Amino acid sequence: MSTQQTLLETAPVGRLDGRQLRNTFGKFASGVTVVTCRNEQGDPHGATISSFTSISLEPALLQVTLIRENKIASLIKDAPFTVNVLGSHQQDLAMHFAGRPQELAPEWVEGATAPALAGVCATFACRPWAEYDGGDHVIVIGEIVEASHEEIDPLLFHSGKFHRLGELSAA
């Protein structure tokens, strides 16, 4: 058997090994985002996610995929939200909103539709557009009503670790 096994070769038919699948998904580098909204009391709330993508320019749509049991999934159901793309200097925010509170509290700003985080790489203010079943996740499509960005390098996530952009080599 080759040293590079595929998921299909190592898992029984119809059943994939969850840890191996997660590790394989982890080979896809992604940006790190925090989805923010208001909780039941009207206070800012957020959750770190890496499953975010653009969908359409006309109409302007994006997608976030949320763990169904995560509180943010129920809070943004039919509610406005903001997607905050973290900058390379904001690993502490990623950890804070992933459930590991940091010493410094997040700095909030008022967004066009929902609270946003200060100093991020980009923000997308959204209204709810659609929601779909995604197994143990919820697929949320947001209509972008305002978008802005700063000239800040993004924070990246790959193979279970945070990374920063490096210079591309000459081809």
Tell me: cis bond preceding 115? Omega within 30 of 0 counts. no
3-class SS of residue 18: helix
Q: What is the mean pLDDT of the chain?
A: 87
Answer whether residue 79 is part of any domain: yes
Of 30, 33, 32, give the one whose Cα is nearest residue 82: 33
Total domains, the chain: 1
User: How far is the C-alpha of 9 from the C-alpha of 14, rounded, in Å?
Assistant: 11
What is the pLDDT at residue 8?
46
Query: What radius of gyration do the chain's Cα atoms show?
Result: 17
Q: What is the pLDDT of residues 122-134, one digit of tens each?
A: 999 999 999 999 9
Tell me what the mean pLDDT of segment 47-54 comes to.
92
Please report, for the domain that includes residue 91, its CATH number.
2.30.110.10
Position 141 confidence tier, pLDDT thresholds 50, 70, 90: very high
Answer whether residue 14 is part of any domain: no
> What global pTM score does this model have?
0.84
Answer whether residue 25 is part of any domain: no
Reading the block at residue 132, the tokens are 């779909």
User: How far is the C-alpha of 104 from the C-alpha of 95, rounded, in Å?
Assistant: 12
What is the pLDDT at residue 81?
98
Position 59 confidence tier, pLDDT thresholds 50, 70, 90: very high
Position 155 confidence tier, pLDDT thresholds 50, 70, 90: very high
What is the pLDDT at residue 105?
87
Answer whether residue 53 is part of any domain: yes
Reading the block at residue 22, the tokens are 């997660």
Of 50, 10, 21, 20, give the one whose Cα is nearest residue 33: 50
Compare 121 and 102 and report the one with higher pLDDT. 121
What is the pLDDT at residue 169?
63
pLDDT at residue 12 is higher than 60: no
Answer whether residue 57 is part of any domain: yes
Answer whether residue 3 is part of any domain: no
Task: For the chain, give the longest Cα–Cα distance.
Answer: 57
Helices (H), the chain: 7-10, 18-25, 71-75, 91-96
Q: What is the residue range of 150's domain?
A: 30-163
Answer whether residue 10 is part of any domain: no
Answer whether residue 39 is part of any domain: yes
- Which has the minimum average pLDDT: 14-28, 34-48, 78-92? 14-28
Q: Phi and psi (nearest 5°) for 92?
A: -60, -40
User: How far is the C-alpha of 85 from the C-alpha of 71, rounded, in Å?
Assistant: 20
- Which has the minimum average pLDDT: 10-14, 44-48, 56-60, 117-121? 10-14
3-class SS of residue 123: strand
What is the pLDDT at residue 2?
44
